[in-house]
Structure formats: C-alpha cells, structure tokens
Amino acid sequence: MAASVNAHNATQDALLDAYEGLLVHVSQMHKLASTEQWEELIEQRTHYVMLVERLHELDSGVILDESGRQRKARLLEDILEYDVEIRRRLVARRDELGKLIGVSQRQRDLHRAYAPQQGAQMHSDDGVDA
C-alpha cells in the first residue's frame, strides 16, 4: 500500500513539475514578446506547443489529490495570464505588419502607375536636349 501511495505521489509531483516547467517557459516567452524579439518568440512558441501536448498526455493519466488540484489550478492561471498577454502582443504585431504591408503595396501601386509617365517624360526631355 505504501508503495502505491509513493508511486502516486511521484506521478503527481512529476505532473506538477511539468506544469511548473511550462510556466517557466511561458514566462520566458512573455519576456521575448515584451522586448519584441519576434523570431525567437515564434521559435519558442513551437516548443511551447510540444510541451503542452506532452503535458496533456501526462495529465490524462494522473489523478491529483486536493492540494495537487489547487496547485495545478494556480499554475494554470499563471500560465494562461502569460498566454493571453503574449497573444495580445502578437495580434498587435500582426496588425502593425499588416499596416506596413498595406503601405508598401500602395507605394508599389503608385510607382507602377507613375513610372511609365516618368519614363515618357524622360524620353521627351532627352529629345529637347538634342
């Protein structure tokens, strides 16, 4: 009986340690988002998704006692707070990039519209000098 209790506690501790690790990882991602290190953030986000998938598998096989459930709830709350803030910053960055793309497209369209006229004007100017 004591062996099964110890095994359960070890499994519970492993699960909660995995949640702690996820919290550390998401807090690092939050720092990257706060300092606008987008490439690194995207790289870490891929790793984050893999951690969540592994955690889900581990979580499905573990039954937590009351203190474990409370600890898990606190960890999840912290993880989700970071995740919401990261997503907010990513959406703002996406919107910013969308505006930059729009400006770039308008500049390209203007260049296409006026470049033929400038070319024709330059040729007529060349004829005047001759």
Q: Report which residue type is found at 83.
A: D
% of the chain residues with pLDDT over 90: 60
pLDDT category, 130, cuts 50, 70, 90?
Answer: very low
Average predicted confidence (pLDDT) for the chain = 86
pLDDT tens, position by position, 90-99 = 999 999 998 9
- Residue 115's pLDDT is 75
Overall average pLDDT of the 58-62 stretch: 90
Sorted by where each starts, the structural domains of the chain and their CATH numbers stand as: 1-112 (1.20.58.380)
Cβ(77)–Cβ(58) under 8 Å?
Answer: no
Q: From CA 111, how far away is CA 118, in angstroms rounded? A: 10
- Residue 30's pLDDT is 97
Reported pTM: 0.72
Cβ-count burial 33-58 (b if 16+ within 10 Å, e if not): beeeeeeebeebbeebeebbeebeee
Q: From CA 5, how far away is CA 38, in angstroms rounded? A: 45
pLDDT of residue 124 exceeding 80, the answer is no
